[in-house]
Structure 1
Amino acid sequence: MTALIQTVILALDLYWWIIIASAIFSWLYAFNVVNPRNQFVGTIGNALYRLTEPALRPIRRVMPDLGGIDISPIILLLILFFLRQFILTTIYPALV
Protein backbone atom coordinates (compact mmCIF):
# COMPACT_ATOMS: atom_id res chain seq x y z
CA MET A 1 0.00 0.00 0.00
CA THR A 2 2.93 2.33 0.67
CA ALA A 3 4.10 1.95 -2.92
CA LEU A 4 0.66 2.96 -4.18
CA ILE A 5 0.58 6.08 -2.00
CA GLN A 6 4.10 7.04 -3.06
CA THR A 7 3.07 6.62 -6.70
CA VAL A 8 0.03 8.85 -6.20
CA ILE A 9 2.22 11.48 -4.49
CA LEU A 10 4.69 11.31 -7.40
CA ALA A 11 1.85 11.73 -9.91
CA LEU A 12 0.54 14.76 -7.98
CA ASP A 13 4.04 16.27 -7.92
CA LEU A 14 4.48 15.74 -11.66
CA TYR A 15 1.09 17.28 -12.40
CA TRP A 16 2.06 20.23 -10.15
CA TRP A 17 5.04 20.94 -12.44
CA ILE A 18 2.98 20.44 -15.59
CA ILE A 19 0.53 23.11 -14.40
CA ILE A 20 3.39 25.52 -13.67
CA ALA A 21 4.95 24.81 -17.09
CA SER A 22 1.59 25.42 -18.76
CA ALA A 23 1.16 28.77 -16.99
CA ILE A 24 4.67 29.89 -17.94
CA PHE A 25 4.15 28.74 -21.52
CA SER A 26 0.89 30.66 -21.77
CA TRP A 27 2.69 33.83 -20.62
CA LEU A 28 5.50 33.29 -23.13
CA TYR A 29 2.93 32.72 -25.86
CA ALA A 30 0.85 35.76 -24.89
CA PHE A 31 3.85 38.10 -24.90
CA ASN A 32 5.22 36.70 -28.20
CA VAL A 33 8.42 35.43 -26.62
CA VAL A 34 8.02 32.10 -28.40
CA ASN A 35 7.20 31.75 -32.09
CA PRO A 36 3.61 30.43 -32.35
CA ARG A 37 4.23 29.25 -35.92
CA ASN A 38 7.04 26.92 -34.88
CA GLN A 39 5.79 23.32 -35.02
CA PHE A 40 7.76 22.23 -31.93
CA VAL A 41 6.41 25.13 -29.87
CA GLY A 42 2.89 24.36 -31.07
CA THR A 43 3.27 20.70 -30.12
CA ILE A 44 4.45 21.59 -26.61
CA GLY A 45 1.63 24.10 -26.20
CA ASN A 46 -0.96 21.63 -27.41
CA ALA A 47 0.33 18.89 -25.08
CA LEU A 48 0.31 21.22 -22.07
CA TYR A 49 -3.18 22.42 -22.95
CA ARG A 50 -4.52 18.86 -23.27
CA LEU A 51 -2.93 17.85 -19.97
CA THR A 52 -4.19 20.79 -17.92
CA GLU A 53 -7.47 21.85 -19.48
CA PRO A 54 -9.61 18.95 -18.16
CA ALA A 55 -8.70 19.93 -14.59
CA LEU A 56 -8.86 23.70 -15.15
CA ARG A 57 -12.17 23.82 -17.05
CA PRO A 58 -14.43 23.04 -14.04
CA ILE A 59 -12.60 25.63 -11.96
CA ARG A 60 -13.00 28.25 -14.69
CA ARG A 61 -16.71 27.49 -14.91
CA VAL A 62 -17.18 28.27 -11.21
CA MET A 63 -14.84 31.27 -11.04
CA PRO A 64 -16.21 34.76 -11.71
CA ASP A 65 -14.79 36.79 -14.58
CA LEU A 66 -11.76 38.72 -13.30
CA GLY A 67 -11.19 40.76 -16.43
CA GLY A 68 -8.54 38.76 -18.25
CA ILE A 69 -6.76 37.41 -15.19
CA ASP A 70 -6.92 33.64 -14.92
CA ILE A 71 -6.26 32.39 -11.42
CA SER A 72 -7.57 28.88 -12.05
CA PRO A 73 -4.02 27.38 -12.14
CA ILE A 74 -3.35 28.84 -8.69
CA ILE A 75 -6.57 27.36 -7.35
CA LEU A 76 -5.73 23.99 -8.89
CA LEU A 77 -2.26 24.12 -7.34
CA LEU A 78 -3.84 24.81 -3.95
CA ILE A 79 -6.19 21.87 -4.40
CA LEU A 80 -3.28 19.60 -5.33
CA PHE A 81 -1.29 20.84 -2.34
CA PHE A 82 -4.22 20.15 -0.01
CA LEU A 83 -4.73 16.67 -1.49
CA ARG A 84 -1.01 15.86 -1.19
CA GLN A 85 -0.86 17.05 2.42
CA PHE A 86 -4.06 15.18 3.26
CA ILE A 87 -2.60 11.95 1.91
CA LEU A 88 0.72 12.45 3.69
CA THR A 89 -0.68 13.46 7.05
CA THR A 90 -3.87 11.42 7.30
CA ILE A 91 -3.77 8.35 5.12
CA TYR A 92 -0.06 7.50 5.05
CA PRO A 93 0.55 7.53 8.86
CA ALA A 94 -2.46 5.28 9.37
CA LEU A 95 -0.87 2.63 7.16
CA VAL A 96 2.59 2.72 8.72
Structure 2
Amino acid sequence: MVYQIISYVLLAMKFYTYVLIARVLMSWVPDVERTSFGRVLYRITEPYLGIFRRFIPPLPLGGGYMDFSPIIAIFAWSFVIEGVAIVLKWLFL
Protein backbone atom coordinates (compact mmCIF):
# COMPACT_ATOMS: atom_id res chain seq x y z
CA MET A 1 0.00 0.00 0.00
CA VAL A 2 2.75 2.45 0.95
CA TYR A 3 4.71 1.55 -2.18
CA GLN A 4 1.69 2.45 -4.33
CA ILE A 5 1.32 5.83 -2.62
CA ILE A 6 5.01 6.56 -3.15
CA SER A 7 4.77 5.59 -6.81
CA TYR A 8 1.70 7.82 -7.30
CA VAL A 9 3.43 10.79 -5.68
CA LEU A 10 6.48 10.32 -7.89
CA LEU A 11 4.30 9.83 -10.96
CA ALA A 12 2.48 13.10 -10.26
CA MET A 13 5.79 14.90 -9.84
CA LYS A 14 7.12 13.46 -13.12
CA PHE A 15 3.88 14.47 -14.85
CA TYR A 16 4.50 18.04 -13.67
CA THR A 17 7.88 17.84 -15.42
CA TYR A 18 6.07 17.17 -18.68
CA VAL A 19 3.71 20.06 -17.97
CA LEU A 20 6.75 22.34 -17.51
CA ILE A 21 8.23 21.11 -20.79
CA ALA A 22 4.90 21.69 -22.54
CA ARG A 23 4.88 25.24 -21.19
CA VAL A 24 8.38 25.87 -22.57
CA LEU A 25 7.41 24.48 -25.97
CA MET A 26 4.20 26.49 -25.88
CA SER A 27 6.20 29.68 -25.47
CA TRP A 28 7.67 29.16 -28.95
CA VAL A 29 4.18 29.51 -30.47
CA PRO A 30 2.66 32.66 -28.94
CA ASP A 31 -0.89 32.07 -30.19
CA VAL A 32 -1.16 28.86 -28.17
CA GLU A 33 -0.85 30.83 -24.93
CA ARG A 34 -4.17 32.53 -25.66
CA THR A 35 -6.12 29.26 -25.83
CA SER A 36 -7.87 27.74 -22.84
CA PHE A 37 -5.23 24.98 -22.74
CA GLY A 38 -2.49 27.62 -22.70
CA ARG A 39 -4.15 29.54 -19.89
CA VAL A 40 -4.45 26.37 -17.79
CA LEU A 41 -0.78 25.53 -18.34
CA TYR A 42 0.15 29.09 -17.43
CA ARG A 43 -1.81 28.95 -14.17
CA ILE A 44 -0.31 25.59 -13.24
CA THR A 45 3.32 26.43 -14.01
CA GLU A 46 3.72 30.15 -13.37
CA PRO A 47 3.91 29.94 -9.55
CA TYR A 48 6.91 27.62 -9.86
CA LEU A 49 8.56 29.29 -12.87
CA GLY A 50 8.01 32.75 -11.39
CA ILE A 51 10.38 31.92 -8.54
CA PHE A 52 13.21 31.39 -11.01
CA ARG A 53 12.31 34.41 -13.15
CA ARG A 54 12.80 36.69 -10.16
CA PHE A 55 16.44 35.61 -9.83
CA ILE A 56 17.44 34.76 -13.41
CA PRO A 57 16.83 37.62 -15.85
CA PRO A 58 16.50 37.00 -19.59
CA LEU A 59 19.83 37.29 -21.37
CA PRO A 60 20.25 39.35 -24.55
CA LEU A 61 20.75 37.08 -27.53
CA GLY A 62 21.03 38.60 -30.99
CA GLY A 63 18.06 40.90 -31.52
CA GLY A 64 15.97 39.49 -28.66
CA TYR A 65 16.16 37.95 -25.23
CA MET A 66 16.49 34.32 -24.15
CA ASP A 67 14.86 33.23 -20.91
CA PHE A 68 16.94 30.46 -19.36
CA SER A 69 14.92 30.31 -16.13
CA PRO A 70 12.61 27.47 -17.32
CA ILE A 71 15.65 25.31 -18.11
CA ILE A 72 17.08 25.89 -14.64
CA ALA A 73 13.62 25.29 -13.13
CA ILE A 74 13.27 21.92 -14.88
CA PHE A 75 16.72 20.84 -13.70
CA ALA A 76 15.88 21.93 -10.15
CA TRP A 77 12.56 20.07 -10.33
CA SER A 78 14.37 16.87 -11.36
CA PHE A 79 16.59 17.20 -8.27
CA VAL A 80 13.47 17.70 -6.13
CA ILE A 81 11.92 14.53 -7.56
CA GLU A 82 15.04 12.51 -6.82
CA GLY A 83 15.26 13.95 -3.31
CA VAL A 84 11.61 13.21 -2.56
CA ALA A 85 12.04 9.67 -3.89
CA ILE A 86 15.03 9.04 -1.65
CA VAL A 87 13.33 10.50 1.43
CA LEU A 88 10.06 8.61 0.87
CA LYS A 89 11.86 5.32 0.30
CA TRP A 90 14.01 5.91 3.36
CA LEU A 91 10.98 6.69 5.53
CA PHE A 92 8.58 4.01 4.38
CA LEU A 93 10.52 1.12 2.88
TM-score of Structure 1 vs Structure 2, range by shorter chain: 0.7 to 0.9
Q: Is the CA contact 2:17–2:77 (under 8 Å) kept in the aligned structure 1?
A: yes
Q: Using structure 1 for the length normalisation, give the TM-score.
A: 0.75
Matching residue's letter, 1:7: Y
Q: Is the CA contact 2:23–2:42 (under 8 Å) kept in the aligned structure 1?
A: yes
Name the structure 1 match of 2:42. 49
* Unmatched 5+ stretches in structure 2: none
Which segments of structure 1 move beyond 2 Å, counting only runs of 4 or more? 1-5, 87-91
Which of 55, 59, 64 is the aligned partner of 1:66? 59
Structure 2 distance, partners of 1:49, 1:28, is 14
Structure 1 distance, partners of 2:90, 2:57, is 38
SS in 2 for 1:27: coil
Higher relative contact order (CA 8 A, sep 6+): 1
Structure 1 distance, partners of 2:88, 2:44, is 27
Structure 1 distance, partners of 2:9, 2:66, is 31
Range with bigger deviation, 82-91 or 20-29: 82-91
Name the structure 1 match of 2:19. 18
